[in-house]
């Protein structure tokens, strides 16, 4: 008779083996998932590091504006009295009211600007060229390889308004991105330089000294000087001694007084920043700035006066005047004289009638007639 043996022992072995295999597979799968997650996290970390390291925003240009009407509107909105507005108007006129600049993204990936700092203060709000507002909670997108414009008002964008930024002060712009990278650029004011020479011009009737001003040595570290404005004042009374506005790098100025003179130069660069001479250049006094231009004669009876005058009609002292008989038999007490402090020489007739020719240097001569 056949007897069947108990097979449960073999089944247990098989089941145990299968369980071991299952556990191994599950462990391997779990390990694979963990490795995959680690790899994903590492890739994301590397991508973030790469994005942070490769982020490259550049401030490529700025435009500054000083709008007087904006300043006045700001003061009126702040309920300032008319007296305060007048005072503020006189003190704020040399401060910028707005700045705009372009930001270029040099990377292929998009960037976002969360904050803008001008000099020492952060702008709470900044705008794009369409007037949309941005701040740290609503950053400005600068697409990869593209350029975006940012506008900041010095009258409304800061915690304490207005923010004073003088026209001749260096402007430092700092951008902060969503990765907390900072990108900055300084825009420095141009530096004026004044050279001068004195040249002589032949006016036919006289030689005149001409003031030649040269500002070509003015420079701008981060751009170029594009505008010049010369101011020439008579030191004796503070009045302007030029009738024209001189706005080129080199100017020739025929002066209308003897001086001495003070000369200032204000220059502007291609970014709109300005620089002005901290101290004037002093041009010494010289009577040849206003040389004699014409002779004037007046008289009565047996005496007459000869005046030598400049282009302003002022008498010039120490000028020689010669009288010469050209007709008749007139006898004078003298035939030569030097003008006094009023530019005048007096001649007296002794006797006779006739015509006298009066001359001084290159000036056109004048004539005086004694008819009795």
- CATH code assigned at 231: 2.60.40.10
What is the reported pLDDT for 9? 58
CA distances from 151 to 70, 105, 145, 202, 268 (A): 15, 17, 20, 55, 21
pLDDT, position 314: 85
Question: Are residues 207 and 182 part of one domain?
Answer: no
The CA distance from 250 to 215, in Å, is 6
Q: Do the domain assignments include residue 4?
A: no
Within-domain flag for 9: no
Residue 36 in domain: no
* Residue 142 lies inside a defined structural domain of this protein: yes
Determine if residue 238 is left, alpha or beta; phi over 0 gives left, psi from -120 to 50 gives alpha, anything else beta: left
Question: Do 284 and 302 fall into the same domain?
Answer: no
363: alpha, beta or left? (left if phi > 0; alpha if psi -120 to 50):
beta
Residue ranges for the chain with pLDDT beneath 70: 1-13, 28, 31-32, 35-52, 78-93, 203-206, 237-244
143: left (phi over 0), alpha (psi -120 to 50) or beta: beta
Rounded distance between C-alpha atoms, residue 12 and residue 345, angstroms: 146
Q: Are residues 150 and 267 in the same domain?
A: no
Last residue of a domain, one of 136, 154, 187: 187
Reported as type and span, the H/E element at residue 296 is strand 294-300
Domain count for the chain: 3
Residues 277 and 311 in one domain: no
**Residue 151 belongs to some domain of the structure:** yes
Whole-structure pTM over 0.75, yes or no? no
Domain boundary among 238, 256, 289: 289
222 lies in the same domain as 145: no
- Beta-carbon count within 10 A of 320 CB: 13
**123 lies in some domain:** yes
What does the DSSP assignment read for 211-238? EEEE-TT-B-TTS-EEEEEEEEEETTT-
pLDDT of residue 142: 94
Same domain, 100 and 70: yes
- β-strands 133-134, 140-142: how paired? unpaired
Residue 142, domain CATH: 2.60.40
Pair 253, 153 in one domain? no
Is 325 within the bounds of a domain?
yes
User: Are residues 96 and 170 located together in one domain of the fold?
Assistant: yes
Please report the pLDDT score of residue 52 as a whole number.
62
361 and 304 in one domain?
yes
Q: What is the DSSP string of 43-107?
A: HHHHHHHHHHHH--EEEEEEEEE--HHHHHHHHHHTT--HHHHHHHHHHHTTB-SEEEEEEEE-S
Distance CA 293, CA 208 (A): 10
What contacts 24+ positions apart, CB below 8 Å, involve 280-287?
280/233, 281/194, 281/196, 282/235, 283/196, 283/211, 283/259, 284/259, 284/260, 285/258, 285/259, 285/260, 286/198, 286/209, 286/258, 286/259, 287/258, 287/316
202 and 285 belong to one structural domain: yes
| Three-class DSSP category at 268 | strand
161 and 69, same structural domain? yes
Domain span including residue 364? 294-370
- Give the Cα separation of 303 and 337 in Å (integer): 14
**Final residue in a domain of this structure, among 261, 289, 317:** 289
Query: Considering the domain boundaries, does residue 64 fall inside one?
Result: yes
Same domain flag for 245 and 311: no
């Amino acid at each position: 008779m056949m007897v069947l043996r108990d097979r449960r022992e073999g089944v247990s072995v098989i089941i145990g083996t299968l369980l071991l295999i299952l556990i191994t597979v599950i462990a391997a799968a779990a390990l694979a998932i963990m490795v995959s997650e680690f790899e994903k996290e590492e890739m994301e970390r590397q991508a973030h590091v790469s994005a942070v390291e490769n982020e490259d925003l550049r401030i490529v240009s700025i435009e500054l504006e000083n709008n007087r009407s904006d300043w006045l509107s700001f003061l009126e909105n702040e309920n300032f009295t008319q007296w305060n507005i007048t005072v503020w108007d006189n003190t704020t006129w040399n401060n910028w009211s707005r700045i705009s600049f372009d930001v270029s993204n040099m990377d292929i990936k998009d960037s976002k600007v969360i904050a803008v700092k001008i000099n020492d203060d952060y702008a709470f709000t900044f705008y794009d060229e369409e007037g949309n507002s941005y701040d740290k909670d609503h950053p400005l997108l600068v697409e990869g390889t593209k350029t975006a414009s940012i506008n900041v008002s010095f009258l409304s964008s800061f915690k304490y308004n207005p923010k004073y930024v003088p026209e001749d002060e260096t402007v430092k712009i700092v951008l902060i991105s969503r990765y907390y990278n900072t990108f900055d650029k300084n825009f420095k004011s141009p530096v004026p330089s004044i050279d001068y020479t004195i040249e002589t011009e032949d006016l036919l009737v006289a030689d005149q000294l001409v003031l030649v001003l040269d500002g070509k040595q003015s420079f701008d570290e981060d751009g170029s000087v594009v505008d010049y404005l010369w101011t020439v004042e008579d030191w004796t009374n503070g009045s302007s001694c030029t009738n024209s506005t001189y706005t080129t790098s080199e100017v020739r100025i025929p002066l209308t007084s003897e001086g001495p003179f003070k000369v200032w130069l204000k220059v502007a660069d291609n970014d709109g920043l300005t620089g002005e001479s901290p101290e004037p250049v002093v041009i010494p006094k010289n009577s040849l700035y206003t040389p004699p231009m014409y002779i004037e004669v007046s008289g009565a009876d047996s005496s007459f006066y000869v005046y030598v005058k400049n282009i302003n009609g002022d008498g010039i002292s120490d000028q020689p005047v010669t009288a010469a008989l050209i007709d008749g038999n007139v006898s004078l007490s003298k035939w030569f004289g030097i003008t006094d402090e009023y530019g005048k020489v007096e001649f007296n007739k002794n006797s006779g009638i006739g015509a006298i020719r009066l001359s001084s240097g290159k000036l056109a001569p004048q004539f005086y007639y004694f008819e009795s």
